Amino acid sequence: MYRELNHVADLRYELICEDLESVFRDLILILKSNYKPVLQRKVVLEKQYQIKEIEDMVFDVVNDWIYMIDAQRVFPLQCRMENLLYCSFVGFSKLRGVELKALTYHQLKAQTNEGKIMLKVVFDT
C-alpha cells in the first residue's frame, strides 16, 4: 500500500508493505501511475539486483529503472524475490504522464514496525 504525501516541489510517497518484494511492487505501481505508459505485452528483458540495506537498494534499483525507461525505452513490469530481486521489463509505445528525473536520497527513510516495512521516498520531477 502506498499514498502520496504533500511536498513543495517533488513527489513524495509513503509505503507500508509486508515485505521487501511488496516494496518494489508498490514502487513499480508508483512509476506506472506517474508515467502512465502504454505498455507492450512481451517481456524483453529481465534484470537481477543484489539484496542490500533497504534505503541503498531502493535508491539504486529505482534510479536504474528510471534510467531504463529514459535510455533503454523499457518499463519495469513486475518483480520477485529469490535471493536476488528479479525485475521483468517490457517495451512501451509512449508515456502519457509525468516523467521522473530521479529518486532522491533526501528524506529516504525505512523503518520496520510491527513486522511491516514503512518507507518514505521523494522523486525529483
Closest CA to 23 of 96, 116, 91: 116
Dihedral Cα 3, 78, 121, 85, nearest 10 deg = 140
CA angle 118, 121, 4 (to 5 degrees): 85
> Would you state the pLDDT for residue 1?
80
Per-residue pLDDT of 1-36, as tens digits, reads: 887 766 555 889 999 999 999 999 999 999 999 999
- What pLDDT is attached to residue 6? 67
Q: What is the pLDDT of residues 69-116, one digit of tens each?
A: 999 999 999 999 999 999 999 999 999 999 999 999 988 999 999 999
- pLDDT score at 2: 81
Domains recognised in the chain with CATH numbers = 2-100 (3.55.10.10)
Give the single-character DSSP code of 100: P
pLDDT in tens, 35-68: 999 999 999 999 999 999 999 999 999 999 999 9
pLDDT at 7: 56
